[in-house]
Each structure stands twice: as C-alpha cells, then as structure tokens.
Structure 1
Amino acid sequence: MTTTTPAGPGSTPGTRPASSKTPATDNRPGRLLATVLSAQFMALLDVFIVNVAVPTIGSELHATGAELQLVVAGYSITYAVLLITGARLGDLFGHRRVHLVGLAVFTAASLACGLAQGTGELIVFRLVQGAGSALMIPQVLSLIQRHFTGEARAKALGAYAAVLATGAAAGQVLGGILVSADLLGTGWRPVFLVNVPVGLVLLAVGSRVLPRDDVSAPERSRGLDLPGLVLLGAAVSLLTVPLVLGQEEDWPLWSWLCLVAAAVIFALFCGYESRLARRGGAPLIAPRVLRHPGIGLAVFRLLAVMSVNAGFLFLLTLHVQGGLGYTALRAGLTFAPTAVVFGLVGLTWRTWPAAWQPALIPGGFLLAALSVAGVGLALHGGGDGGPWLYAAFAGVGAGLALSFSPTLTRALATVRPEDAADASGLLATVTQLGQLIGVAVFGTLFLNRLESLGAPGAYTSSDALLACMYALAATATLGAVSGLVRRRR
C-alpha cells in the first residue's frame, strides 16, 4: 500500500510524496485510514444513536414533541447545511487542521450534551455537534483521495463506504445498549458521553498520524466563494428544516413554502456557479466534478439507497417500539443483522469474481427491494416475524451494501486529487439529504397510514409497516433500473 499522491492534472513537479515522514508525524497509511474512519464512524453513530434514547430524554427533561424532534434533528440540520462549506475550508486551511478542529468541536459538544440540564441546552449543543461533524467528515474522503492511489485507494474507498452506511444501524444498536444499561443511573446521557473518551484518543492519535498539510497546495489560492456558500447554505437549510420538522408540525404552509424556495435558490446557485466558472473564478463546486463520468448517476443512486436505508431503520424503530412494545435494548439489537451483513459485504465485494462486478449495483438494489418487502410480510399480523425475519434483515444489509459501496467507490475512484474536496462535500451532502428524505417521506407515510387505520396496536402498526415496506421496495427497484441503464451503456 502506498500513500504517494500520483502525478496528474494539478500536480506540481517536486511535490513531496505523502508518505515522507516528518519528526512530528507518523504517516503510515493503515494508521491514517483507521484514525479517520474511526472518527467518521463515531460522528455517523450520532445521527441515529439518539433515536432509541428519545423516550427517556423526553421523560427526564419533560420535553415536548417539538423539542424532542429538534434534539434528534438539530444535529442533521447543521451537519447537512455545512458539509460543503467544511470541504472547502479543508482545501483552504488544510485537511489535517480542519479535521482535528472539527473533531475537537464534536467532542466538546458531546460532553456538553451529556451534561445538559434542560432541553434548550441539549438542542443548542446538538447543533454544535453537527457543525463539528460537518468540519470533520469531508476531510476523511479528501485525505483518502490525496494520500492513497491505485489498488490502495480502491480498498480505502471500500472501507469508507462500509463505515459510512453501517453507522446508521450501529447507532441504533449502541443506543439501545447504552440506554438499557443505565450506567450509574445516568439514563440517556451515555449516548453522548461515550464520544468523549473516543474523541480525546482520536485527537491524540490524529495529531501524530494525519499527514502535515502542504502549505504550497495550489487550491489554497482559490479563495472562499462566499456568495456561493450563502446561496447553497440557504437552499440546503430551506430543504432540510421542513424535512426534519414537517411531520411533527403536520406539514404547515411554511414547510411547503420553504421547499419551493429551496428549489428556486438552488437554481440561482447553479446559475451563479456556472457564470463564476466561465469568468475564471473559483466556484464552490467545480463544474468539472459535476460533469465527471458517473457522478450524476451516482448522485441518483446514493439518494435512492440512503433514502431506503434511513426509511427502513426509522420505520422499524417506530414499529418495534411503538407497535410491539420492545425495550430500547431489544429494539437496538433488532438492527444488528442488517449492520453486520452490511459491513461484511461492504468490505468484501471487491474480492468477488470479476464476472459478477457489472451486476452488483442493480442486483443489490433488487435484493434490497425483495428483502424490505420480506420484512414487511414477516412482521404482518403483529407477530415477531420468526426466523424468516432475520433472513430478510440479512438480505436488506447485503442489498444495501451492494447498492451503496460500489456506487460510491466507482464514482470516486477516478476523481482527481485536486477535486477531492468538491467531490467529498457533494457526495457527503447527497448521502445526508438522502437519509433526511427517507425519514421524512416514509415516516410521514407510516404515520398517516397508522392514523387512517384507527386504534393503534401491533396489528395496525404492522399493516402500516407493510404498506411502507412496499413503497421502500419500489424506491429500490428504481435504483435497480438505473443500474441496468448504466450497464447497457
């Protein structure tokens, strides 16, 4: 495995190889990858780890439904809004520096969340947590793109994809374990405090392992596209806020106006960025990244697979805790088969026979479609599903892994190192928006269906779940069709 940045467009003669050592830095690639992926996994856990702790938080802090929604969603709001900004800041000030700053902010905010005495404090610190993640996570992909090449880069991207998607299910599992353990009578607080020792260790290790930033990197001279940042931030905010709060507020008029305004401002952003690029300026996202072969199709596939992934986890959480009355621990462990299989397939698919590789993405989407429908059928009638349920869970994990990991890896494998920050911010934002869309759309469908069926209970919840699982299967089928179209080309 090598960490030398390959020569190519944008490289300069005489650039020091990324594998060279300085007295204060240990640049061994395996340690670099383990460090940044551990930080990413911790941050991704926090998107979902709070879900199973919500009932306990509500009872202990006497929080309203809207306040609990903000506790859960506040992290996602600032995270999604600031991801591309975080990627650009990494280009300007150095990926190592910005990653460590983001990790420090995230760790401090986790401590503050765990010690919060009221809902207002918790909401504010969750917003800060999301901002720390938005600084930290885009640097992970940029560091991989810049310090790995060839086969080593492909393997690193495969590990990145596996970590990125297993964090959701693992967060549900770990959240259930921590809440049920009630360590020293602390209730929900360990779901935040667990990040503190891990974050401190990663800060200490990262200061030694992460490569020193190249102060002569040409992209430092690009500057910060402030108008582009403002337009994109406004568009993502106007999209994100109604998606995470609309269901709780019963989709009021303001939520629909925000969605329309988001589309208008995003169109303005695209027009401004195109004009800036034609004038020779430095747009927030280089147009050549958007024109890169496979990026457009990858965006569609990532939106589809992450919508299915997040929607599936959210619907099952509602059903098993609300309809079946599972404890937080049992609810969390329900997702273990999906997380384990996702991780295994995500890490090994590249070693499968070459003849299988062209069919992995459409086949993965199709397997996911059949498996989520199987989960709905297994749970229909209000039962626990029996052994067939766990086979369906494994199928969901394998199908989503095959849909997600090859899509992300192949889209990024040929991106030029100087475009790493742009691609990182773009695809990380798409991934996060896919999760938000999945929760908003399928969560709304489930709750509306449940309300129309009358008295709540295991049977009516299972009926609502089955309808939503069919909708998830249809979404996955669209992803399979996109894979077949690309394959024919």
Structure 2
Amino acid sequence: MTTTTPPTAAPASTPGSSKAPGTDIRPGRILAAVLTAQFMALLDVFIVNVAAPTIRVELDASGAGLQLVIAGYTITYAVLLITGARLGERLGHRRVYLVGLAVFTAASLACGLSQSTGQLIAFRLLQGAGSAVLIPQVLSLIQRNFTGEARMKALGAYSAVLATGAAAGQVVGGLLVSADLFGTGWRPVFLVNVPVGLVLLAVAARVLPRDDRSEPGRARGLDLPGLVMLGAAVSAFTVPLVLGEQEGWPLWTWVSLGAAAVIFALFCGYEGRLARRGGAPLISPRVLRVPGMGLAVFRLGAVMAVNSGFLFVLSLHVQGGLGYSALRAGLTFAPSAIVFGVVGLTWRKWSVQLQRALIPGGFALAAVSCVAVGLLLRDGGDGGIWLYAALVGGGVGMSLGFSPTLTRALATVRPEEAADASGFLATVTQLGQLTGVAVFGAIFLAGIESQGAPGAYSSADALLVSFYALAAAAALGAVSGLVRRRR
C-alpha cells in the first residue's frame, strides 16, 4: 500500500440527531469536553512521579507501598479498559462517560485527603478504575459525533492529547509540589482534579448528545468469560512489569509473564470460537481485520514504549543523578510536550510528498534524538541548550510516529465498532507505556547498580546505555514504517 491519505471514514452519527432536553449539542463543545477529561485522566498516570519523594516522607511509606501508590492507578486502568469500552457500548457512551468521570473525581478527592499509605493505594486503584471506564468513551463519542474532515481533525486532537499527557504530568506535578499550596505538600496533585472534574460533569451533561437506545451494540452481551480471561492476561502481564524492578525480578514475575502469554492464547482461541458460533466476542473481528491494524498495533506499542521509557529514564537521571528539583525536572520536559502536541495537531496540513515519510521519518528522528540526549549527558553535565534541541527533536519524532499511525488506524473503523477499537487501542498504548518503563527503566537501574555508588557520572553512563537501547527500539519502528510503503 502506498497511499498516505486516510481512507474516507464511514458515516457517523450527526451531532444533535438525538438531542435531549437541556443539552446544547455542538461538535466543538463535545470535543472540548471529552478531550479535557482525556487529558485530566492521562495526567494522573505520571503526575504522581515527581510527588513520590514527598509522599514517602509525609506518609512514611515503604518502598513497596510507594510503588503501589504510583502503579495502582496504572494496573486497574490497563486491566479494565476493554471492560469500560464494552460497558459504554452496552449502556450508552454518554451515561458511562459521566459515571466514569464522577468516580474519577470522587477518587481524586479521596486520594488528596488520604491519611495513610493503605488509603492512598486503595483510592488510587479506584481512580484508575474510573479512568478505565471514562477513557474509552472519549474515542467512541468522537467516532459517533464527527464525520469527514471534522472527524479527522478531532482524531488528530485526540492523538495529541493522548500522547502529551505523560510529559505534561511531569510538568504539572513539579509545579504543584514545588508550590506547596497552603502547606499541603503532595496533596494538590490529586485535589486539582476535583474542581476541574465538577465543572466538567456539569458541562458534559449539557453538551454530550443523548445515548441512542436503538444502537445495535446494546443487544450484545458483555462476554463475561472473555472479560475474565483478558483481565487475567493483562493483570498477569502488568503486575510484574510494574513491581518487578522494585522486587528484584523474583521467580513469580517471570512465571506471571509466562502465564500472561498462555492466558492470552486461550483468550484468542475462545474469542475465535465464539465469533464462529455467531456470538459477540469482546473485540469485534472486523476491528482486527481493518487494513494495517496489525502494523498499527506494533507501531503504537513501540512509540509509546520509547516515549514512556524516554521520560522515565531521563526523569530518574535529572532528579537522582543531577539533583534537579521537582519543578526543574518537570519543566525539562516542557519542550517535548509542546512540540508533541503541536505536531499532532498540524501534521495533516503538511505536503503529500512529506506525509509519505512521516511515520518512518518520525521514528528515525526519535532514534537520532535518543542518541543525542545520551551523548549530551554522558559526562555528568546538563547538556546546555543543545539538550532542549534534542528533546524537541524527540518530541517531533515520537509525535510523527504516533499521531498519523493512530489516526489512520481509526479512519476505517465504523462508528458501531468504535467501542471495540477505542478499548483495544487504548489498551495497546497503555501496555506499550508499561513495557517501556519496565524494560528501559530496568536497563538504567541495572547500569547504576553495576557501577557501585550512584552519582552524576554513574547515572550518566547508565543513561547513555539506556538511550542507545531506546534508539534501537525507535529504529525498529522506522523499519515497520517502511513495511507498509512496500505493500
């Protein structure tokens, strides 16, 4: 396949076609409401990272407890995404969106008021569950309420927001912790969600179109066996990735990863048999058969692994090796976050000749930027202005690898399959992020341990090795970008 222009999208529901009393349905307002919720929920995946040292001191948290505070959100979020997508299809996207947003907002308040590590872990798990219910509805609402060029623009904005949440979380977290508002320390990283969530609940209840009770997906069951098997497979994959480094990669982590592969194979076999019997599998086979979906899954997983590994390792280095404050560490990532968002919103306006090389070129630029960052910091210095130039290059490259891939993968997904596609691709991106943090974080930490006492130079050496590995992963993405062009 040589074309780089996304295929014409299938017709979607016209905004306002099922207007309810008290609603004011306008496409721009729908997009603003759902993307604000998307950004807020994604922010909380990373916003806690820079607050972790303060949380540990104030709550006297153990290393394992602190790890669960950070990872608890991610675990329930990743495990329940597919479930959230199917609930939206069955019960109505607007209704489930509002429920997920309410749960997320209430859990954020509870996190901010927690008085012990145990309470904070429990409420982080609940917060992740609310996010998993909320996030899949965002893409489904976009798919169902936009058509043609407007739909493509909305998907571009969705891609930009989805991918900038990580870096923005570091920046916002650093600002809030450093500000120490009213002496509250780490608590504003959670409490900031409360007023935003309350306003968003009121706005979304007014601007989102009423659910259409005649939608065909309402008649489909929840496929409970499939949900259980997929949830078990994702859990078995996620938990060791999240906790493995902290625990020293004991035997149970490898057993769990092996079990994840076995359970997933059983899940695939069961889903295939269910589809052949005329049942309603958890993920529609038509979604998996969308042209280029397999390559898109690989590219999305690769770019999110590189992005999350890049941010995680560099964050560890600048805070641990260079001694940056939470605020300075957060602001270091601002250039990357800004260009990621700008490129995600504008790449479709570039020339057709240039667009043919966007995906492989983006991965290649990300690879070069990873090598540049590693070399600039290898002597224990801060890299000066050239570091920010390399970070901008990395942001541009990873945005070009991510945004066109996601937009084009969704271009041929029919509106009635939006729930399946949203849950599936959101899970892929989340698992990509987890894999990147686990794999490249382990390389970095192992490099420090091999050199004895930590310091700026040992951290810089470990960073260089990690960023060479990140560059290799990005190069694989560039190769995958060439495969589709030759087809």
Task: Please confirm whether the aligned pair reaches a TM-score higher than 0.5, indicating the same fold.
Answer: yes
Q: 1:117 to 1:17 in 2, by over 3 A?
A: closer
Q: C-alpha root-mean-square deviation of aligned residues, in Å?
A: 1.3
Q: Name the counterpart of 2:3.
A: none
Unaligned stretches of 5+ residues in structure 2: 1-8
Q: 1:17 to 1:105 in 2, by over 3 A?
A: closer
Q: Is the 8 A contact 2:89 2:217 kept in 1?
A: yes
Q: Name the counterpart of 2:106.
A: 108
Q: Name the counterpart of 1:51.
A: 49
Q: Is the 8 A contact 2:19 2:210 kept in 1?
A: no
The answer to whether structure 1 residue 137 and structure 2 residue 135 are counterparts is yes
Counterparts of 1:123-162 in structure 2, within 5 Å, are 123-162=121-160
> Alpha-carbon deviation of 1:23?
2.5
| Structure 1 counterpart of 2:121, one-letter code | I
> Alpha-carbon deviation of 1:285?
0.4
Counterparts of 1:210-249 in structure 2, within 5 Å, are 210-249=208-247
User: Structure 1: how far apart are the matches of 2:15 and 2:160?
Assistant: 28
| Structure 2 counterpart of 1:21, one-letter code | K
Q: Name the counterpart of 2:4.
A: none
Q: Name the counterpart of 2:428.
A: 430
Q: Name the counterpart of 1:184.
A: 182
Q: Name the counterpart of 1:3.
A: none
Counterparts of 1:475-486 in structure 2, within 5 Å, are 475-486=473-484
Relative to the length of structure 1, the TM-score reads 0.97
State, as a whole percentage, how many aligned pairs show the same letter.
Answer: 78
Q: 1:398 to 1:17 in 2, by over 3 A?
A: closer
Q: Is the 8 A contact 2:359 2:404 kept in 1?
A: yes
Q: Is the 8 A contact 1:225 1:284 kept in 2?
A: yes
The Cα offsets for residues 127-174 of structure 1, whole Å up to 9 and x where unpaired, read as: 000000000000000011111111011000000000000000000000
The answer to whether structure 1 residue 349 and structure 2 residue 350 are counterparts is no
Q: How many equivalent residue pairs?
A: 480
Counterparts of 1:311-350 in structure 2, within 5 Å, are 311-350=309-348
| Structure 2 counterpart of 1:155, one-letter code | K
Q: Name the counterpart of 1:302.
A: 300
Q: Name the counterpart of 1:366.
A: 364
Q: Is the 8 A contact 2:300 2:405 kept in 1?
A: yes
Counterparts of 1:69-108 in structure 2, within 5 Å, are 69-108=67-106
| Structure 2 counterpart of 1:80, one-letter code | A
Q: Name the counterpart of 2:440.
A: 442
Partner SS state of residue 24, structure 2:
coil
The Cα offsets for residues 7-34 of structure 1, whole Å up to 9 and x where unpaired, read as: 76xx9xxx88644533321110000000
| Structure 2 counterpart of 1:259, one-letter code | L
| Structure 2 counterpart of 1:134, one-letter code | A
Q: Name the counterpart of 1:277.
A: 275
Partner SS state of residue 84, structure 1:
helix
The Cα offsets for residues 309-353 of structure 1, whole Å up to 9 and x where unpaired, read as: 000110011101100011111111010010011111111101111
| Structure 2 counterpart of 1:475, one-letter code | A
User: Structure 1: how far apart are the matches of 2:332 and 2:84?
Assistant: 34
Equivalent of residue 206 in structure 1, options 199, 204, 207: 204
> Alpha-carbon deviation of 1:57?
0.3
User: Structure 1: how far apart are the matches of 2:366 and 2:329?
Assistant: 21
Q: 1:281 to 1:50 in 2, by over 3 A?
A: same
Partner SS state of residue 39, structure 2:
helix
Q: Name the counterpart of 1:461.
A: 459
Relative to the length of structure 2, the TM-score reads 0.97
Q: Is the 8 A contact 1:51 1:175 kept in 2?
A: yes
| Structure 2 counterpart of 1:124, one-letter code | A
User: Structure 2: how far apart are the matches of 1:100 and 1:295?
Assistant: 30
Partner SS state of residue 357, structure 2:
helix
Q: Is the 8 A contact 2:14 2:144 kept in 1?
A: no
The Cα offsets for residues 178-226 of structure 1, whole Å up to 9 and x where unpaired, read as: 0000000000000000000000000000000111000111110011100
User: Structure 2: how far apart are the matches of 1:156 and 1:17?
Assistant: 14
| Structure 2 counterpart of 1:278, one-letter code | R
User: Structure 2: how far apart are the matches of 1:104 and 1:467?
Assistant: 43
Q: Name the counterpart of 1:32.
A: 30
| Structure 1 counterpart of 2:334, one-letter code | A
| Structure 1 counterpart of 2:88, one-letter code | G
Q: Is the 8 A contact 2:18 2:210 kept in 1?
A: no
Q: Is the 8 A contact 2:97 2:133 kept in 1?
A: yes
Q: Name the counterpart of 2:171.
A: 173
The structure whose RCO (Cα within 8 Å, separation 6+) is larger is: 2
Q: Is the 8 A contact 1:19 1:28 kept in 2?
A: no
| Structure 1 counterpart of 2:261, one-letter code | A
User: Structure 2: how far apart are the matches of 1:347 and 1:365?
Assistant: 18
User: Structure 1: how far apart are the matches of 2:258 and 2:178?
Assistant: 42
Unaligned stretches of 5+ residues in structure 1: 1-5
Q: 1:40 to 1:161 in 2, by over 3 A?
A: same
Equivalent of residue 383 in structure 1, options 381, 384, 390: 381
Q: Is the 8 A contact 2:15 2:26 kept in 1?
A: no
Q: Is the 8 A contact 2:15 2:209 kept in 1?
A: no
Q: Is the 8 A contact 1:19 1:27 kept in 2?
A: no
User: Structure 1: how far apart are the matches of 2:276 and 2:367?
Assistant: 43
Q: 1:381 to 1:7 in 2, by over 3 A?
A: closer
Q: 1:464 to 1:17 in 2, by over 3 A?
A: closer
User: Structure 1: how far apart are the matches of 2:10 and 2:168?
Assistant: 38
Q: Is the 8 A contact 1:20 1:27 kept in 2?
A: no
User: Structure 1: how far apart are the matches of 2:14 and 2:244?
Assistant: 51
